[in-house]
Amino acid sequence: MNALDWCFKKSIWVYHVNAGSCNGCDIEILNVLTPYYDVERFGIRLVHTPRHADALLVTGPVTRQVKERLLRLYEATPDPKLVVAVGSCPTGGGIWHNSYATLGGLGNVLPVAIYIPGCPPRPEAILYGVAQALGLVPQQVKKQEFVEVP
Ligand code: SF4
């Protein structure tokens, strides 16, 4: 299901959440907001409270400490809402996938609609994920579970 099916006819306002990120992905999110990439041409706008947001843009591997706050942010976001995982960390835990301090990825805590892998993902990849959420392009990648080789 894409975002248009959820009645986001004109624009999606997003709230950025750092769930234990190293800031690499966060910098790339700022990058797509600059005039060079200009994500606002798709109607995407960064807002400063989850109560105004249609989507949560989450970076980081989701640490145990941040889990409760993340759930409160999700509850504070009005329905219908999208959760977008930006980076390899929220996609599957990244290099922290088996750390005692993290929860192995955002999908273990919240229902994720779009995964944008990469460490960090290029601005073009973030734009592709957004375009996918808007139903402008078909999905070409799927989430894969990490399997440890014995
Ligand atoms: S995916 Fe890479 S750049 Fe992004 S938060 Fe994780 S370690 Fe940092």
* CA–centroid distance, residue 9 to ligand 1 (Å): 31
H or E element: which one contains 70? Answer: helix 67-76
Q: Which atom of ligand 1 is nearest to the CA of 91?
A: 1
149 belongs to a structural domain: no
* 2 C-beta neighbours (distance < 10 Å), count: 18
150 belongs to a structural domain: no
144 belongs to a structural domain: no
Of 117, 120, 122, whose CA–CA distance to 37 is shortest?
Answer: 122
pLDDT at 141: 65
56 belongs to a structural domain: yes
- pTM of structure: 0.83
99 belongs to a structural domain: yes
Full domain range(s) for residue 58? 22-133
pLDDT at 18: 94
What's the number of domains the chain is made of? 1
Only one residue has tokens 């994720």, namely: 112
pLDDT at 73: 94
139 belongs to a structural domain: no
117 belongs to a structural domain: yes
Q: Output the domain CATH number for residue 124.
A: 3.40.50.12280
Give the pocket of ligand 1 (CB within 6 Å). 21-22, 24-25, 59-60, 87-89, 94, 119-120
* CA–centroid distance, residue 89 to ligand 1 (Å): 6
Of 91, 80, 78, whose CA–CA distance to 19 is shortest?
Answer: 91
62 belongs to a structural domain: yes
CA 54 to chain centroid: 12
- List per-block mean pLDDT (blocks of 10 residues) for the chain, which spans 150 residues: 55 90 93 88 88 92 93 93 92 87 90 90 88 70 75
Nearest CA to ligand 1 atom 2: 119
